[in-house]
Amino acid sequence: MKRTIIIGDVHGCYRELMDLLDKIGPSQEDTLLFVGDLITKGPKNQEVLDFFLESENAQSVLGNHEYALLMHYRKQPIILKRSQRKVKKELGKNFGPYMQKIAKWPLTIPLENNGVLIHAGIRPDIPFAKQTTEDLTNIRTINGTPWFNLYKGTKTIVFGHWVTSSPIIKTNAIGIDTGCVYGGRLTALIWPEKKFVSVKSRDQYNDQ
């Protein structure tokens, strides 16, 4: 049976990504979806990107860290964080070619059973079509309240960006960033069964 496997924020944790995929055992018929932030903060960013780009059945939405690097590549006025500068250095002369491929990543990916994949979230009072790139890749709270506690829509939003020790599970929102790069876990969601699979991080690579 064909599966859709949605993977939380990898952040350069290549070994843990391989551990997770070994545990899940995806077939060539399965689809791998990533929630963005494949890179930064972790140790093996280029390996993660190469694996993703070489996988014919993999797609990702744009995460806030890819968006920041893309803005920098396009010479927009942005100050890169230390972890982002480190990735640029790691990619070296191939930074441009990688950014050209990342530029094609969508902001949302539709899921069967009335779901949608987004990196960060949405502004609950604004239609999907009018959400900004900044909202979709960076939003966390609305006046101090988590956006997913205010969201009343019928679509189930699967997202990352919001680090928790275990998945956020609501009727219409599921968060799967379980902080692998911080020493937590890397989590996947099998959709539409809503089954979770996770592996422990091998190390704490970042503390921010």
In the chain, domain spans = 4-200
Q: Residue 198, SS3?
A: strand
Q: Output the pLDDT for position 194.
A: 95
CA distance 72 to 74: 5
Q: Output the pLDDT for position 207.
A: 80
pLDDT in tens, the chain (208 residues): 799 999 999 999 999 999 999 999 999 999 999 999 999 999 999 999 999 999 999 999 999 999 999 999 999 999 999 999 999 999 999 999 999 999 999 999 999 999 999 999 999 989 988 999 999 999 999 999 999 999 999 999 999 999 999 999 999 999 999 999 999 999 999 999 999 999 999 999 998 6
pTM reported for the whole predicted model: 0.96
User: Side by side, which strands form the sheet with 108-111?
Assistant: 108-111, 115-118, 156-159, 173-175, 168-169
Which residue, 35, 33, 30, 32, is CA-closest to 3? 30
Strands 4-7, 31-34: pairing is: parallel
Q: Output the pLDDT for position 58.
A: 97
CA distance 94 to 10: 20
CA distance 85 to 88: 5
Q: For domain 4-200, is the CATH number 3.40.50.300?
A: no
Q: Output the pLDDT for position 208.
A: 66
Are 174 and 189 spatial neighbours (Cβ–Cβ below 8 Å)? yes
